[in-house]
Amino acid sequence: MKLVLLSQQTAFSLTPTESTLYLVLLDQQAREGQVKVDLHFTTSEVACQLLFIGRLAAGSDWQLETNMYHQVPKTSCMTDVYLSQADRSKVDYFGQIYIDRQATHTKSFLQEQSLVIGRSTSNRSRPILEIFNNKVKASHSASSSRLNESDVFYLMSRGLLRAEAEKLLEQAFFDRILAEKVKDKTARQLISDYLC
């Protein structure tokens, strides 16, 4: 699978002709950002993955949008959005999967997870499915949850400061994604560097 790093924090409208992993690493220093990625599947047998990784800085405000348009048969896509949110960070995510009437044998899945670390955060999530034929497999899931206090407590009881414990648990959250979702070695390295 080809790797494409979408390094600019802007809008993309892409038409993949071969199987591709699109990687978006959200700017950790930015106070605000808007990233939109549209993938138009017009070539059969193309399988893509779109992966957003973001550590949202304190007080930052993000608008994220992904739109998967499956227009021909036998395409597949996995959209993954993984975020951690520091104090007062805001995120508004809109993620759509559209499968056209003739796009039979499509597989398209979307997963969004937000790990809330800071206080006074805001999270809005709108994962949309629009399906117009029955020969498909499609699903989406979205979740937002805070760091588990008992995990934090356990680590603090072992001598870590709260900030260290939170950092370690955030690392574990992203490590699990790396292990489960990223097969490409270069992509793994890019994400590891981003998280360091």
The residues of the shown chain that bind another protein, judged by CB under 8 A, are: 101, 104, 116, 119-120, 122-146
**Identity of the residue, 122 or 171, whose beta carbon is nearer to another protein in the bound complex:** 122
Our CB check for another protein shows the closer of 136 and 169 to be 136
Q: How many helices (H) and strands (E) does the chain have?
A: 3, 11
Q: Which one, 5 or 128, has the nearer CB to another protein? A: 128
CA–CA dist 126, 112 (Å, integer): 10
Choice between 138 and 169, CB closer to another protein? 138
Q: Shortest Cβ distance from residue 137 to another protein (Å)? A: 6
Nearer to another protein, 15 or 143 (CB): 143
Burial annotation 66-99 (CB, 10 A radius, 16+ → b, else e) = bbbbbbbbbbbbbbbbbbbbbebbbbebebbbbb
Residue 60 CB, shortest distance to another protein, in Å, is 16
Residue 15 burial (CB count, 10 A): 13
Contact 31, 60 (CB under 8 A): yes
* Tokens found for residue 16: 């993949």
Matching residue, tokens 């047998």: 45
What are the residues whose beta carbons fall under 8 Å from the beta carbon of 187, sequence distance 6 or more?
Answer: 3, 21, 23, 51
Distance in Å, CB of 48 to another protein, minimum: 19
Place of tokens 């809109």: 94
Contact 17, 182 (CB under 8 A): no
Q: Please report how close the Cβ of residue 154 comes to another protein at its closest, in angstroms.
A: 17
* Minimum CB–partner distance for residue 145 and another protein (Å): 4
Q: How far is the CB of 121 from another protein (least distance, A)?
A: 8
Rounded CA-CA distance 194/155 in Å is 24
28/139 with CB nearer another protein: 139
